[in-house]
A = this chain, B = another copy of it.
Amino acid sequence: MQFELTKQFLSDVSHAVSEKDSLFIIKNVNELHPADIAEIMDYVNLQEAQYIYQLLDEEQAADVLVEIDEDVRDKFLASLSAKEIAESIENMDSDDATDLIQDLPEKKQEEVLSEIKDESQSSDITDLLNYEEDSAGGIMAKEFVAANINWTVKEALKMLRKQVEDVDNVFTIYVIDNKAKLKGTLSLKKFLYASDKTLIKDLYRPDPIHVDALIPSEEVASIMEKYELVVIPVVNDVGMLIGRITIDDALEVIKEEAEKDYQMASGISEKVESSDNVWVLSRARLPWLLIGLTGGILGAYVIGSFEDEIRKFPIMASFIPLILAMGGNVGVQSSAIIVQSLANNSLEIDSVAKKLIKELMVALVNGVICSLIALVFCFLTDITPLLALTIGVALISVFLYAGLFGTFIPLVLNRYKIDPALATGPFITTTNDVIGLLLYFLIGWAIYFP
């Protein structure tokens, strides 16, 4: 039943466009869900996309513009006139319209805004443009349904019928006082029970969970997640209801955060997708590679300063990869656990000291186990007891150091309001490489070289 995009369908669409077969498009594309049409637009070329877009009815066209992938949209919008964009924007929710306008070049933004005929829509957008993109205000919509606390159910119903026209999903009716201050909520369910003369005052639920327009969107998402809300009201600094955020926007924030953390841990510095071009992909990956390169060169210095010892004991070189692999893995593991706990707000109570001690214990347990296995390997080969001792001690030291460093750095970054995910991936592994090598050769210098 659900639409599935196939190569065959895409080639049929291309064929229809080249033949100017508008009937095929109207019958097979326009009837689809906007999210599906948007998916098609991601794959066809610009001319084809334009042809399809012209054939969509107004509301469908607006929904497709909202759903389409941002990269594709930027190119596509550049091919539309300010007037065409403005027409689509009139059919959008204010939050989607604002997102779209934000993506336009500054000059075109003004042109589009001046072309919007629906004045309440253009003033809503101008208003929303004032908020930071990653704040509650930046993701809220101005469309909501509100009833005055002094109305009766009958009066409310009459007024709501008008408001409801504008709002796609009602979810909750907000209750406000004469000064538009948020007083509470009224579930639609209650309307199925209440008699016409009941006062909203006697029906509403006071003190709803709400957010201030200026808090970060991440915080909004975690509040909605914690309290399992599908919609949350947004108030301004004097408590007036000014908008609402729905779960799909919060979900987007959650996904983006998770993807960002994942990409940072994997050493990718911009938000990229495999469909981006070679230059974008290369550029996003280069910064961490350069950090790794620097670490590798520093490592070369560390090892280079023990050149004579290596000439004498070349077998010391053999265990460099082992030391590096262990230090890297332990560091990434510890930092990942901290980063994830911070993201889930599940760390606020324990003290830093307690976390470090726990990590020290984990590092010790795993360090001892891995060292013992390494020692067994040493005894099975012709490695001297002194070298085996060096490797064992070095491994445990690297485990302890990497565990502590991996735990400590994200906590410090978080304390100074820097994204702790920065600490994961190449940064931790690179530092651990250099320090790990230093520890290994110093322990070798103390135990094995004499």
Contact = CB atoms under 8 A, between A and B. Distances in A.
A372 to B, nearest CB: 11
A308 B210 CA distance: 71
A147 to B, nearest CB: 12
A321 B303 CA distance: 9
A325 B254 contact: no
Interface string A305-327: 00110110011011111111110
Chain B CB within 10 Å, residue with most, of A227, A304, A320: A320
A210 B2 CA distance: 8
Given A314-B311, A355-B274, A322 B349 contact: no
B275 A192 contact: no
Nearest to A334: B285
Interface string A274-308: 11001101100110111011011101110110011
A326 B292 contact: yes
A430 interface: yes
A303 B320 contact: yes
A49 interface: no
Nearest to A323: B296
Nearest to A297: B377
B274 A366 contact: no
A388 to B, nearest CB: 12
A178 interface: no
A329 B424 CA distance: 12
Given A286-B369, A311-B311, 16 more contacts: A43-B349, A265-B265, A265-B336, A266-B424, A273-B337, A274-B338, A275-B347, A285-B333, A296-B323, A297-B377, A301-B318, A304-B318, A307-B318, A314-B314, A324-B433, A329-B429
Interface in A205-252: 207, 209-210, 223, 225-228, 230, 246-248, 251
A225 B207 contact: no
Interface in A119-145: none
B161 A262 contact: no
A90 interface: no
A190 to B, nearest CB: 10
A247 B225 CA distance: 10
A43 B387 CA distance: 47
A426 interface: yes
B227 A337 contact: no
Given A251-B225, A297-B374, A349-B7, A325 B433 contact: yes
A1 interface: yes
Contacts of A326: 289, 292-293, 296
A161 B193 contact: yes
10 contacts: A263-B336, A267-B332, A273-B340, A273-B344, A289-B333, A292-B326, A293-B326, A304-B318, A321-B437, A329-B429
Contacts of A362: 278, 281-282, 285
B340 A321 contact: no
A230 B169 contact: yes
Please provide the 9 A-B residue pairs with the shortest distance between their CB atoms, ordered closest to farther. Answer: A296-B322, A266-B336, A299-B321, A258-B258, A317-B317, A274-B341, A310-B314, A300-B318, A303-B318
A78 interface: no
B322 A324 contact: no
A26 interface: no
Interface string A17-36: 00000000000000001010
B340 A322 contact: no
A443 interface: no
A246 B370 CA distance: 45
A200 interface: no
Contact of A293 (B299, B373, B429): B373
Nearest to A308: B314
A154 to B, nearest CB: 12
Interface string A337-374: 11011001011111000010010011001100110011
Contacts of A251: 225, 247, 251, 254
Given A272-B337, A299-B321, A314-B314, A365 B161 contact: no
A160 interface: yes
